[in-house]
Structure 1
Amino acid sequence: MLNKLAAFAIPLFFFSTAFAQTQYSSLSDALQTGFRLRGKSGPTSVNWIDDGNRYSFIADGEIHTMDPKTLTETTVFTSSGLHIPGSTAPFAYESFQWSRDSKHLVFRTNFRHIFRNSGISDYYIYDVATRGLQQAAKDARSAELSPDGTKVGIERNGNLSFYDFATGKEQQLTNDSTSGTGLFNGHYDWVYEEEFGQGQAWNWSKDSRYIAFWQFDDSRVPVFEMTDFEGIHPPQEKISIPQPGDPNPSVRIGVIDVHSGKKVWLTPDETGDFYIPRIYWTSDPDVLALMTLNRSQNHMKLYFFNVKTGEHHVVLEEQNQTWISIFDFYTDVNDMVYFPEKTREFFWVSDRSGYYHIYHYNYDGKLINQVTKGNWDIIKVTGINPGTKSIYYLSAEASPLEQQLYTIKFDGTGKKKLTEVPGHHTIDMSTNTAWYLDEYSNTTTPTQVGLFNSEGNQLKQLEDNHAVSEFTRTHAYSPLQLFRFKTADGVTLDGSMIKPFNFDSTKKYPVILDIYGGPESHDVFNQFAIGGFQQWLAQNGYIVVDINNRGNADYGSAFMKVVYKQLGKWESNDFVETARYLSSLPYVDGANIAIMGTSYGGYSTTYTLLTHPGVFKAGVANSPVTDWRLYDDIYTERYMGTLTDNAAGYKNSSDMTHAGKLQDHLLIIHSMMDDNVHPAQTMELLTALTNAGKDVDLRIYPPGAHGAAYNWQSYLLMSKVAFEFFEQYLKGSTH
């Protein structure tokens, strides 16, 4: 998944002019101050426990709980005086999970990173009442306490087992994964983990009787190799990653009865190449929902399987002319289908109407009703209460530039807007929907955090970030300003602008378009500006602009999906339209506009310069995709279709096709250890540019991963290089 990397009573805070305010002493000072502008985000590592009647959070390494009804805070864990069992080493942890009965904690320690969402760890079980600590698993990729608290499921080296507290022993459940065969159970391969957004490929049933798991065979998947060139004879890291047209891993779902050891394979009625991106336990303890997607990801089926017999039927089927989303990386939406407990009903979020809305089904697959309607998009379901038959959700109904919380009944009546302050709201709702944490900001208000009840009444303000507002009064700060304009073909685009400190409307300023642009993403919101690099640019006389281009979410499917099978075309068109609009403003120096971005933003930068030469004077592309045939197949084929169906589209979307048109200044930044956007992307573009007689600036950072920065010094240096590049080509100066 391509991701944008960024430094990143309800009063409104307005900002006075910057004339007498302290400015940044250096780029390093500005970047570090960016962290200060973020402020505090309220409680960290929030977990709702006791059926949603309390939440836990971390404070100074301790785990505390809060009771929203009484506003009582209690300490439930401290590592003070606690040692790793069998040693004198102090106990420390990276993360934790609660048991369903809220009596035990499962701690993850000694984490060693593998892919985006996974790694190897040691796991410990902590008894809250007795303060007893015992090791549950060593060197495991994942471990999870069973819902009844009697066992710990474990995945290690591609096999599943469980630790039984009653016997004090670990019992093996699978044993068919061996090194070098490509067959493994209970964890994802690279492309499933990256593009379907999950790290653990197995789930306990709600009654603790079964474990359902994915089995992979990636022996036919091509291998990608990379090295950081460190030391003598540096080793090559090898990862199986399929590109468009390559064989995918073979995948199937198994269910094991942990009491008897009996295993059942669930075989959907699919042929050809297809994905199994999600499974869900339903309210029926013996029924598992299994989702399939065809390779083009425009045909979804939801099966119900009896895990005792393997009998199954389809309860939901949907097809789309473009693609079907089953999760959203950019808004932290893990699912589009929801199975609330204690009811034989489920909900599916679909854009079949042209906008994302909630649809209500029974377990027979019959559509009961469409819950939400209108020319606006659902963003995220935050809670479902079967008792009151209520759904809570974030949507863009108030504005595509905002996330606001609403509630509505299952039958579509009684809709109510719960959040009142304009801006971008992120909601963490209790499992019983009685309470929620709301973290929000807008262009004039730094991050605020409050605890609310289900009626939208604030019970306690948890963070007001008064220190941030005070900082912006005493230090130079340029707030985000929102604007909109119409393109030549009549489409309205929303943008944001950060103006220079001491802005003078009679002067003309160079502009840097700082963009991302990828499908289903969304850059511009009514939210507080926190980027230290953007503030540094503003201090040095640049206008910094971002835009919600076509392809972005929350404007309806027609706006978002126009990019299908032609990535780059409409994004670059809208960046050019933005540059032309800005050039019409009296305070913009239209001859000195640059474009920059990372990941998909890197592709947006290179493709725009190559297909629209002369519009932007310079561009900085970090970790750019340059040819979609070189990216992974799940992401690429979702938006581009398959190679056999869209050969012309792949060719036209490639930078190499247009390399000879370059006439502007380009800086490319990449890492040799980027397993996401492989360095081959940059290398092939360099060859094409060289063959066309075109020269560019290049910075390679071998140890870095995606985004290239691997420590503070590399991040600072990359920022310095980009800044001096703009100084040279937009102002004609060097440092």
Structure 2
Amino acid sequence: MRRIAFFAALALTCAPALAARLTVDQIMADPDWIGPAVESPHWSADGQFIYYRLKRKGSDIRDLYRVDPSSGKSVKLDGAQQADADGDPVFNRQHTRAAFLRHGDVFVRDLSTHKLTQITRTAQPESGVQWSADGDTVQYRAGNDWSTYDLRTGTTASVAVLKTADDPQDAKPDQMERLQLSLFSTLRQMKAEKDAEQARDRELDRTDGTRAAQPFWLGTGVKIADTELSPDGRWMIVVTQPAGYDGGKSPVVNHYVTDSGYIHPEKARTYVGRNDPAPQSLVLLDLSAHKQYALSLDALPGIHDDPLAALRAKRQAELRKQGHDAEAKALDAPKTRGVRIADYGPATLAWSDDGQAAAVMFRAIDNKDRWIASVDFAKHALTPQHRLHDDAWINWNYNGFGFVPHSHTLWYESEQTGYAQLYVKALNGRAKQLTSGHFEVRTPQPSPDGQWFYVLANKQAPYAYDVYRVPTDGGTLQRVTAYEGMYDVETPVPFRLSPDGTRLAVLHSSAYVPDQLAVIDVDGHGGRELTDTRTAKYKAMHWIEPQIVQVPSSHGDFAVYAKLYKAADFDASKPHPAVLFVHGAGYLQDVTKGWSYYFREQMFHNLLAQEGYVVLDMDYRGSEGYGRDWRTAIYRHMGHPELEDLLDGKAWLVKHYHVDPQRVGVYGGSYGGFMTEMALLRAPGQFAAGAALRPPADWTSYNHEYTSNILNDPQLDPEAYKISSPIEYAQNLQDPLLICHGLIDNNVMPTDSIRLYQRLIELHKHNFWISLYPMERHGFVHADSWRDEYTRIHDLFTRFVLNKKDAATAAH
């Protein structure tokens, strides 16, 4: 393939200096002034158009647009036009029909006649649209109930009736019932008639395909978590968990500003370790023979091991020594490790397109293992295909898997080499690694003909993401796009293959350009920009292009990637104040060439640079994009390696940019707020002031899904929680701290900040403040709140960082 042409991102003006002085009011205004990002692109069923959505100005409503990729002409669709628009299409194997969802109903497009047929019109939304193996029947679900529509006959049928109760036919008469039958011939005759009717129904179910299916009785004490139907209609796999499982006591958040004028309490998620998620199991239903089989987990390698045995023994010994025998007993390891199949991430069950092969992904509740197993339909058993073990924890991301089209070959993502890479494996063969290197591969998409995989990868540099492709049977990883900015935490899949597999619809961005839509041939040629949704006012602005730098670590032979902001007329001859921004989520990458989730903060960094600050935004250890070891460096001691990186960043600024070490501030939200508190409380005197936004102050009150990965359960590993929670270091506060938190935050509870605030009161600390926002959740949505919060942050830094000497004098 000849060298890939470079299709530059949309023009961005990065002038030597900002044209006008920025203000907090301007940059924290409703982002409608910037222009909406392009969202949710998908191809029309015939591949002639691309549909996408744009946020409506002054509203959260998303309007539907259609663009012709050949001419670049976009039109906003009105109601009548939307009635004939395609949703995101799913094609049958023969590629003669496409099915899709629109406003929760199922539609089918005939590709030869372009005829559109509405299959459902119901109040309950449908989902899970797929095709039968013969291509004539569309399958869909409402909740966990599956239905089919046969386009040849126009018949709608319920696939299976699932009952979470015991089969009444299996009930055995007790002593009293047996006595009654022995005494009364009429009762015996009635029972014989009922038994005959049941036998007749079973026979008709087996021989008469026009009858509605009889129920499957799954037994009492179970709850259905998920169901998946095979394309050939023969099998259904049901995920179950214990009914009435005690998930633990839920905390509440209180709505203080309400329509009624009364406080409204709202239940939130359970705290970590109180209790663990419900363990899940599999049941295989043979829809043809009307039989059901429990699929045992015993074949999964390591399912009976205890990866936390040493930690468990230590903790139990401590508890018994303290006289807490009952608590020690409660920590006994189960004989079989609990697993989750549904509800933890990507699709966890995949079918081959002919319906004759299935694979399931399992994740251990203790977070140390991930398995992929195929289903042996003849033996009604699981066959292990892949095990990924991690002594720390299995990643939240990079868990995609499925079948290569028109085959029984599995594909999956795995971090087993230390970096997320792509693999294929025939069910009866050995795994083959398709990509390799010290970079991450994500969101694999096979081509319709099954000959290629298209992936997003940061092969060129950790901060530069593009689309690459690799042959399914192995070969060179080929670069398709050259935007470098295709990573966006809010757009996990930024590219879509056309129905014929010849073109890609891609979303790409740059530091100050939100996601825009382009089209490109799959060989990297023929690129065309299709949108520019920025406002004229925003495009007229001049911004500081962030400089991507590498900060050497004093704790190992590695560097920390960071974004540096400084004024174009930066004067290196005089000392400067600085601010360290700490991104949130922990496992998130902010040092990229694409649009940032923190676009408001980036504009704020421009404002700070105008005022003479140097700003550094680091992808500290624990961030995404740098491999498994970088991710797990924080295992059991959150806030420690990351703080080392921040202090190295500060020292680097002092050395290379004439930053005054006494005038360095730090701020961030969520995990960044946590790190701000850890910085001030574990390294007092290193930072002149800090602003902690929506910060977790005590990890024992966060959730299972995130926290138990990194710190295990608090009952089992209390030391990890103690050394990782800012509230445990409250006595060290000596530098000014501003805490900001939404009062209806149901992610990081506002009680985290309120409890830390009370702790600081009791410790008789000074120069700490809390600002609470009654109508905000974890991510603020109201411009007034953004403005107020960042005005306070700006005032904090002006007083204690920019003008620190004046502030010190005033304090005396």
TM-score (normalised: structure 1): 0.79
Q: Distance in 2 between matches of 1:446 and 1:164?
A: 41
Shift of 1:79: 0.9
Shift of 1:455: 0.4
Q: Distance in 1 between matches of 2:230 and 2:498?
A: 21
Q: CA-to-partner distance for each residue in 1:214-267, whole Å, 9 max, x for gaps?
A: 434453111313221345663432356251362322423455677888665544
Shift of 1:511: 1.9
Which of 717, 726, 730 lines up with 2:797 in the alignment? 726
Shift of 1:92: 14
Superposition map of 1:249-328 within 5 A? 249-254=278-283, 265-269=294-298, 270=303, 271-277=336-342, 278-283=348-353, 285-306=355-376, 310-325=380-395, 327-328=396-397
Q: Is the 8 Å Cα contact of residues 743 and 772 (structure 2) preserved in structure 1?
A: yes
Q: CA-to-partner distance for each residue in 1:120-176, whole Å, 9 max, x for gaps?
A: xxx344577677778633255x63444356454111xxx636486846787883454
**Does residue 497 of structure 2 align to residue 429 of structure 1?**
yes
Q: What amino acid is aligned across from residue 769 of structure 2 in structure 1? A: D
**Does residue 32 of structure 2 align to residue 27 of structure 1?**
no
Q: CA-to-partner distance for each residue in 1:591-650, whole Å, 9 max, x for gaps?
A: 221111111111111112111111111111122112222211232121223446533222
Pick closer, same or farther for the CA change 1:151–1:296 going to 2, 3 Å.
closer
**Does residue 203 of structure 2 align to residue 206 of structure 1?**
no
Q: Which residue of 2 aligns with 1:185?
A: 224
Q: Distance in 1 between matches of 2:290 and 2:669?
A: 48
Larger Rg: 2
**Does residue 430 of structure 2 align to residue 367 of structure 1?**
yes
Which of 465, 471, 478 lines up with 2:544 in the alignment? 478
Shift of 1:13: 4.5
**Does residue 787 of structure 2 align to residue 716 of structure 1?**
yes
Q: Distance in 2 between matches of 1:258 and 1:502?
A: 73
**Does residue 634 of structure 2 align to residue 571 of structure 1?**
no
Q: Is the 8 Å Cα contact of residues 518 and 551 (structure 1) preserved in structure 2?
A: no
SS of equivalent to 1:246: coil
Q: What amino acid is aligned across from residue 247 of structure 2 in structure 1? A: V
Superposition map of 1:38-57 within 5 A? 41-42=37-38, 44-50=39-45, 55-57=50-52
Q: Which residue of 2 aligns with 1:88?
A: none
Q: Is the 8 Å Cα contact of residues 680 and 687 (structure 2) preserved in structure 1?
A: yes
Superposition map of 1:634-649 within 5 A? 634-643=705-714, 646-649=717-720
Q: What amino acid is aligned across from residue 27 of structure 1 in structure 2? A: V
Q: What amino acid is aligned across from residue 498 of structure 1 in structure 2? A: Y
| CA-based RMSD | 3.9
**Does residue 588 of structure 2 align to residue 588 of structure 1?**
no
Q: Distance in 2 between matches of 1:727 and 1:439?
A: 38
Which of 698, 713, 716 lines up with 1:627 in the alignment? 698
Q: Which residue of 2 aligns with 1:215?
A: 240
Which of 118, 122, 145 lines up with 1:160 in the alignment? 145
Which of 466, 472, 485 lines up with 1:404 in the alignment? 466
Q: Which residue of 1 aligns with 2:177?
A: none
Q: What amino acid is aligned across from residue 439 of structure 1 in structure 2? A: L
Q: Distance in 1 between matches of 2:21 and 2:233?
A: 59
Q: Distance in 2 between matches of 1:35 and 1:505?
A: 37
Q: Which residue of 1 aligns with 2:769?
A: 697
Q: Which residue of 1 aligns with 2:255?
A: 228
Which of 276, 279, 282 lines up with 1:247 in the alignment? 276
Q: Is the 8 Å Cα contact of residues 742 and 773 (structure 2) preserved in structure 1?
A: yes
Pick closer, same or farther for the CA change 1:134–1:285 going to 2, 3 Å.
closer
Superposition map of 1:264-663 within 5 A? 265-269=294-298, 270=303, 271-277=336-342, 278-283=348-353, 285-306=355-376, 310-325=380-395, 327-328=396-397, 335-364=399-428, 366-374=429-437, 376-385=438-447, 387=449, 389-424=451-486, 426-430=494-498, 433-442=501-510, 449-463=517-531, 471=538, 474-489=540-555, 490-500=557-567, 503-516=570-583, 518-527=585-594, 530-531=599-600, 532-643=603-714, 646-663=717-734
Q: Distance in 2 between matches of 1:552 and 1:420?
A: 24
Q: Is the 8 Å Cα contact of residues 587 and 623 (structure 2) preserved in structure 1?
A: yes
SS of equivalent to 1:394: strand
Shift of 1:573: 1.1
Pick closer, same or farther for the CA change 1:36–1:483 going to 2, 3 Å.
farther
Q: Which residue of 2 aligns with 1:193?
A: none
Pick closer, same or farther for the CA change 1:248–1:505 going to 2, 3 Å.
same
Q: Is the 8 Å Cα contact of residues 218 and 250 (structure 1) preserved in structure 2?
A: no
Q: Which residue of 1 aligns with 2:161?
A: 173
Pick closer, same or farther for the CA change 1:170–1:578 going to 2, 3 Å.
same
Q: Is the 8 Å Cα contact of residues 25 and 787 (structure 2) preserved in structure 1?
A: yes
Pick closer, same or farther for the CA change 1:589–1:160 going to 2, 3 Å.
same
Pick closer, same or farther for the CA change 1:103–1:558 going to 2, 3 Å.
closer
Shift of 1:428: 3.2
SS of equivalent to 1:564: coil
Q: Distance in 2 between matches of 1:308 and 1:51?
A: 39
Shift of 1:699: 1.6
Q: CA-to-partner distance for each residue in 1:670-712, whole Å, 9 max, x for gaps?
A: 23322221233223323332332224211222332223x2423
5+ long unaligned stretches in structure 1: 1-8, 83-90, 109-122, 187-200
Pick closer, same or farther for the CA change 1:439–1:507 going to 2, 3 Å.
farther
Number of matched pairs: 666
Q: What amino acid is aligned across from residue 726 of structure 1 in structure 2? A: F
SS of equivalent to 2:273: coil
**Does residue 141 of structure 2 align to residue 147 of structure 1?**
no
Q: Percent identity?
A: 19
Point out the structure with the larger strand share. 1
Q: Which residue of 2 aligns with 1:706?
A: 778
TM-score (normalised: structure 2): 0.72
Return 343-352 or 604-613, whichever deviates more.
Answer: 343-352
Q: Distance in 2 between matches of 1:99 and 1:368?
A: 28
Q: CA-to-partner distance for each residue in 1:73-117, whole Å, 9 max, x for gaps?
A: 7989741499xxxxxxxx999x96545466555333xxxxxxxxx
Q: Distance in 2 between matches of 1:460 and 1:491?
A: 39
Q: Which residue of 2 aligns with 1:79?
A: 79
Q: What amino acid is aligned across from residue 16 of structure 2 in structure 1? A: T
Q: Distance in 2 between matches of 1:603 and 1:92?
A: 49
Q: Distance in 2 between matches of 1:534 and 1:588?
A: 16
Q: Is the 8 Å Cα contact of residues 584 and 669 (structure 2) preserved in structure 1?
A: no
Q: Is the 8 Å Cα contact of residues 401 and 410 (structure 2) preserved in structure 1?
A: yes
Q: What amino acid is aligned across from residue 289 of structure 1 in structure 2? A: A
SS of equivalent to 1:236: strand
Shift of 1:570: 0.3
Superposition map of 1:93-132 within 5 A? 97-98=88-89, 100=91, 105-108=100-103, 123-125=104-106
Q: What amino acid is aligned across from residue 25 of structure 2 in structure 1? A: S
Q: Distance in 2 between matches of 1:487 and 1:31?
A: 34
Q: What amino acid is aligned across from residue 481 of structure 2 in structure 1? A: T
Pick closer, same or farther for the CA change 1:368–1:169 going to 2, 3 Å.
closer
Q: Is the 8 Å Cα contact of residues 146 and 229 (structure 2) preserved in structure 1?
A: no
**Does residue 1 of structure 2 align to residue 16 of structure 1?**
no
